[in-house]
């Protein structure tokens, strides 16, 4: 079954050429055989584009060979990955002709393809199967990455509904997978292609704007890079310096996250310095050179060389203020680090001295994936499992240490309770407090990379429902929920027993519907809450059985309580923490950005007004930083602060009778929120204006905005940025 067609002969030669270039060992005969079998198997099939179907497995094999060349087994599996599913060739044939290892990889890819054809209701369970099948052999998912990447590159030939479904699936599942495997280049392309089909208008507009400024961008990158190159040359460092604009989806996410137009996204530029050396110290030398030339931005420095990411990614990231005050991200890494960042697992294999040794890094990653799912409680609903899966894939990590110096990886925002459950479930159940670097802290304290954490436990301590509000790891959430459910059931059972004894004593009888009506009359959602309230002595059974509804009076009391609240509303503020301490230093809040609790903040030392507190995203702060970054200080909101802050909301909509009343009602009925002022201007049949309200934090403000958007006739409601 030799290849006689000159076109296919040329394709085979190209594939073998790339394999020889990128792989340490190539079985040419077996690759040729797989090429011939795939060509023969698909000879009567045509793709949606009109091309012979064989072009797909061929291109998938080329992607594997170029993007993540692991071994020739993966190349052969890529050529054959659709043979079992789409043709008359079976498992026995592939096993007989190519061996058990290849047939298992092809089988794994086939099963993953089938997983995504399920209905919505089974989707979450299918994602679980996907991962558990993937971890048996890493090459299964590498072939699937290549398969998905080629499908995305040729997505234009399928119908729009299918385009959106495949693009959404790619964005939510395959791109995060690629990130976890360290396949940076593949992740970016998958994200951009998904973005193109999910929001073509935004994609094309961004692409057009980037293209229009290409010359200007290239000129700027040269202006930025030349002083660095000069210094690197003086130090006799061997390097490659590349300037690039961030990929489209990354820019779009920044625009959405910051609520800024393209023209106001300043950190579009990224410079990568790749050093031709095996000496990691030269990366730090290069960092010193960059920081001597350009002012580094505080809080934008990451050292992934000292502590690599789970996917073995290593690099130094820093952001500096370049010419004209523009922010530029600089990445510094060795050639080996760069290959691992681009090609992930495959490159990691390349640099291992003992090619047959167990890969501990990959095993740790695989165990991490297993842990997400094996610790998921059976009670979890399928949709919740899917959400948890997405969350774990997207979160970044922090690195904290036990008192003995063992390193633990946790999601950003984790607490000592997450850390305790990471050590052992029993430690989590009985933790009563924690020490960070020797200092006792509350259990909801946010951990940061580098913290050394010691758990204080007591056999009398048990989880409480407040823990669910601040824990981040799925393991902690599941264990706490299991304990609370068990504890709650015993309380409910106790309540049922008390209720039934009372009814028996009073010779009364109630149907389940009667009990539900009594529960509702006492402002409880269901009978379970009713029995629980009885057990906890929150309800007096005698009063429950004889009480009359006094709804009108209670509503009157509620109105009176609000009026009282409105009269005492204050705006005095106290307790801002400077470097984690309540130091009593004089400070004021910047009028340019009006920060409120929940906003990321930073302080700027002024003359006469102490420390001026800004939101970190404040454009004025960026200008100030460019002049003198040494005046910046770390500040934090206190945990228990309950002061009131003035926040502005800009609003517009269709004018109608009663609109002001509806707007006011939607605000004051949420947590007795007090209005400071309303300014509305009408023009013909529309209006626009601003509202100043007193809020306790950012979540409070966001909830009010959500309520306003639901008022009939409101076109837009958003946070007002005063100048």
Mean pLDDT (the chain) is 79
177 in the same domain as 231: no
pLDDT at position 266 over 80: no
For residue 246 the two structure tokens come to 């961030």
Q: Please give the pLDDT value at position 177.
A: 75
Report yes or no on 565 lying in a domain.
no
Which has more pLDDT, 17 or 633? Answer: 17
227 pLDDT above the threshold of 50 = yes
Measured between alpha carbons, how far is 268 from 245 in angstroms, rounded to an integer?
A: 6
**Per-residue pLDDT, 258:** 79
Kindly indicate the confidence band of residue 281, based on its pLDDT and cuts at 50, 70 and 90: very high
Whether the per-residue pLDDT at 550 is higher than 50: the answer is no
Output the pLDDT for position 115: 53
Whether pLDDT at 171 is above 90: no
Range of the domain at 534: 473-549
> DSSP secondary-structure letter at 673?
P
- Same domain for 542 and 649? no
Do 39 and 165 belong together in one domain? Answer: yes
Catalytic-residue membership of 85: yes
pLDDT bucket at 720, cuts 50 / 70 / 90:
confident
Task: Let me know whether 162 and 21 are in one domain.
Answer: yes
Confidence of residue 596 (pLDDT cuts 50, 70, 90): confident
Residue 174 has pLDDT above 90, yes or no: no
Please tell me which residue, 378 or 565, carries the higher pLDDT value. 378
Say which CATH number the domain at 708 has.
Answer: 3.30.70.260
What's the average model confidence in pLDDT over 335-363? 59
CA 315 distance to own-chain centroid: 20
What is the structure's pLDDT at 24? 78
Asked whether residue 506 falls in the same domain as residue 622, the answer is no
Question: Is pLDDT at 327 greater than 60 in this prediction?
Answer: yes
Q: Is the pLDDT of residue 150 over 90?
A: yes
Give the model confidence (pLDDT) of 80-106 as tens digits. Answer: 988 887 777 888 888 899 998 898 888
Query: Same domain for 131 and 262?
Result: no
φ/ψ region of 597 (left if φ > 0, alpha if ψ in -120 to 50, else beta) reads beta
Q: Is the pTM of this model over 0.75?
A: no
Mean pLDDT confidence for 629-655:
80
**Over 70: is that where the pLDDT of 517 sits?**
yes
Q: Residue range 145-149: average pLDDT?
A: 92
DSSP string, 164-215: HHHHHHIIIIIHHHHHHTT-HHHHHHHHHHHHHHHSHHHHHHHHHHHHHTHH
Q: What is the pLDDT, as a whole number, of residue 75?
A: 93
Q: What percent of the chain has pLDDT over 70?
A: 81
Confidence of residue 548 (pLDDT cuts 50, 70, 90): very low
Residue of 36, 40, 66, 85 marked active site: 85
Residues 174 and 225 in one domain: no
Domain C-terminal end among 334, 350, 366: 350
pLDDT tier at 575, thresholds 50, 70, 90: low
Whether the predicted pLDDT of 353 surpasses 50: no
pLDDT of amino acid 658 = 80
- The yes-or-no verdict on residue 644 having pLDDT over 60 is yes
Q: Among 37-41, 132-136, 363-367, 487-491, name the most confident range.
A: 37-41
> In the numeric block, which tokens belong to residue 533?
């309230």
Q: Is the pLDDT of residue 558 over 50?
A: no
At 224 the pLDDT is 92
Contact (Cβ atoms closer than 8 angstroms) between residue 315 and residue 304: yes
Residues 77, 178 share a domain? yes
The SS3 call for residue 457 is strand
Residue 164 in this model has a pLDDT that exceeds 60: yes
Banded pLDDT at 209 (limits 50, 70, 90): confident
Q: Is residue 215 part of a domain?
A: yes
Residue 620 lies in a domain: yes
- Give the dihedral sign, CA 526/532/535/537: negative
Domain assignment present for 161: yes
213 domain residue, yes or no = yes
Indicate if the pLDDT at residue 17 is higher than 90.
yes
Catalytic position from the list 36, 40, 66, 86: 86
Q: Please give the Cα distance from 542 to 536 (Å, whole number).
A: 15
Out of 350, 374, 400, pick the residue that ends a domain.
350
Q: What is the pLDDT of residue 28?
A: 92
Angle between helices 184-198 and 138-153 (to 10 degrees): 40
Which of 636, 658, 687 terminates a domain? The answer is 636
Q: Look up 13 and say whether it is catalytic.
A: no
Same-domain check for residues 514 and 627: no
| Count of domains for the chain | 5
Give mean pLDDT, residues 309-326.
86
More confident residue, 688 or 357: 688
In this structure, the answer to whether residues 54 and 146 fall within a common structural domain is yes
| pLDDT band of 721, cuts 50, 70, 90 | low
Q: Which residue has the higher pLDDT, 547 or 509?
A: 509
CATH number for the domain that contains residue 110:
1.10.3210.10
Of the listed ranges 323-332, 424-433, 520-529, 538-547, the one predicted with least confidence: 538-547
| pLDDT at position 625 over 80 | no
Q: What is residue 347's predicted lDDT score, i.e. its pLDDT? A: 58
* One domain, residues 326 and 215: yes
631 and 651 inside one domain: no
Of residues 623 and 204, which shows the higher confidence score? 204
Q: Is 626 exposed, middle or buried, given 0-12, 13-18 or 19+ CB atoms closer than 10 A?
A: middle
Instruction: Report the range of poorest mean pLDDT among 111-115, 314-318, 452-456.
Output: 111-115
User: What CATH number is given to the structural domain containing 277?
Assistant: 3.30.460.10
pLDDT at 543 over 50: yes
Of 357 and 586, the one with more pLDDT = 586
- On whether residue 419 sits in a domain, the answer given is no
Q: Please give the backbone phi and psi of residue 672, each rounded to the nearest 5 degrees, phi first.
A: 50, 40
On whether residue 464 sits in a domain, the answer given is no
Q: Which of 155, 158, 159 is nearest to 196 (CA)?
A: 155
What is the rounded average pLDDT of the residues 123-138? 50
| pLDDT reported for residue 570 | 31
Tell me if 445 is assigned to some domain: no
Least confident of 442-456, 542-556, 662-676: 542-556
């Amino acid at each position: 079954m030799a290849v006689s067609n000159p076109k296919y002969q040329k394709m085979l030669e190209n594939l073998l050429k790339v394999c020889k270039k990128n792989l340490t060992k190539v079985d040419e005969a077996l690759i040729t055989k797989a090429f011939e079998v795939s060509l023969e198997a698909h000879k009567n099939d045509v793709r949606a584009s009109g091309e012979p179907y064989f072009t797909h497995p061929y291109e998938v094999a080329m992607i594997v060979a170029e993007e993540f060349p692991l071994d020739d087994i993966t190349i052969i599996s890529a050529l054959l990955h659709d043979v079992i599913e789409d043709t008359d060739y079976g498992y026995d044939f592939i096993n007989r002709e190519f061996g058990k290892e290849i047939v298992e990889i092809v089988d794994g890819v086939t099963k993953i393809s089938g997983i995504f054809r399920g209905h919505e209701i089974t989707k979450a369970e299918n994602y679980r199967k996907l991962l558990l099948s993937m971890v048996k052999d890493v090459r299964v998912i590498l072939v699937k990455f290549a398969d998905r990447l080629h499908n995305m590159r040729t997505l234009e030939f399928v119908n729009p509904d299918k385009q959106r479904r495949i693009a959404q699936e790619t964005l939510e599942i395959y791109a995060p997978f690629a990130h976890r495997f360290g396949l940076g280049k593949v992740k970016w392309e998958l994200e951009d292609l998904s973005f193109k089909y999910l929001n073509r208008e935004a994609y094309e507009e961004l692409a057009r704007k980037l293209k229009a400024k290409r010359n200007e961008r290239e000129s700027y990158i040269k202006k930025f890079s030349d002083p660095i190159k000069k210094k690197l040359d003086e130090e006799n460092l061997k390097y490659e310096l590349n300037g690039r604009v961030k990929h489209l989806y990354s820019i779009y996410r920044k625009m959405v996250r910051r609520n800024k137009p393209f023209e106001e996204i300043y950190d579009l530029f990224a410079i990568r310095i790749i050093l031709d050396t095996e000496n990691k110290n030269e990366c730090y030398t290069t960092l010193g050179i960059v920081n001597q030339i350009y002012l580094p931005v505080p809080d934008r420095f990451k050292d992934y060389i000292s502590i690599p990411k789970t996917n073995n990614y290593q690099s130094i990231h820093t952001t500096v203020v370049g010419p004209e005050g523009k922010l530029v991200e600089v990445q510094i890494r060795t050639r080996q680090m760069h290959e691992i960042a681009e090609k992930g697992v495959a490159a990691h294999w390349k640099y291992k001295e003992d090619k047959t040794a167990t890969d501990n890094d990959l095993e740790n990653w695989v165990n991490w994936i297993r842990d997400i799912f094996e610790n998921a409680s059976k009670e979890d609903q399928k949709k919740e499992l899917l959400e948890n899966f997405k969350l774990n894939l997207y979160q970044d990590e922090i690195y904290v240490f036990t008192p003995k110096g063992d390193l633990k990886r946790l999601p950003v925002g984790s607490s000592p309770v997450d850390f305790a459950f990471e050590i052992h479930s029993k430690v989590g159940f009985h933790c009563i407090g924690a020490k960070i670097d020797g200092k006792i802290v509350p259990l909801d304290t946010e951990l940061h990379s580098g913290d050394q954490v010691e758990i204080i436990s007591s056999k009398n301590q048990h989880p409480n429902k407040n823990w669910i509000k601040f824990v981040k790891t799925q393991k902690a959430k599941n264990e706490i929920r299991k304990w609370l459910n068990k504890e709650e059931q015993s309380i409910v059972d106790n309540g049922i027993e008390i209720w039934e004894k009372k009814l028996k004593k009073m010779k009364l009888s109630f149907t389940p519907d009667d009990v539900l009506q009594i529960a509702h009359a006492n402002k409880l959602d269901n009978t379970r809450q009713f029995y629980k309230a009885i057990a906890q002595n929150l309800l007096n059974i005698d009063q429950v059985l004889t009480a009359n509804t006094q709804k009108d009076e209670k509503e009157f009391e509620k109105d009176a309580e609000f009026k009282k609240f409105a009269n005492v509303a204050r705006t005095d503020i106290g307790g801002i923490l400077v470097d984690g301490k309540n130091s009593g230093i004089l400070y004021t809040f910047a009028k340019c950005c009006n920060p409120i609790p929940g906003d990321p903040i930073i302080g700027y030392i002024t003359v006469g007004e102490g420390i001026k507190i800004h939101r970190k995203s404040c454009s004025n702060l960026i200008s100030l930083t460019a002049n003198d970054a040494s005046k910046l200080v770390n500040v934090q909101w206190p945990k228990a602060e309950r002061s009131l802050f003035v926040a502005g909301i800009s609003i517009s909509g269709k004018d109608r009778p009663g609109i002001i009343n509806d707007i006011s009602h939607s605000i004051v009925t949420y947590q007795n929120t007090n209005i400071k002022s309303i300014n509305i201007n009408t023009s013909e049949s529309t209006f626009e204006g601003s509202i100043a309200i007193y809020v306790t934090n950012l979540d409070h403000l966001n909830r009010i905005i959500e309520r306003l958007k639901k008022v009939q006739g409101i076109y837009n409601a958003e946070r007002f940025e005063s100048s």
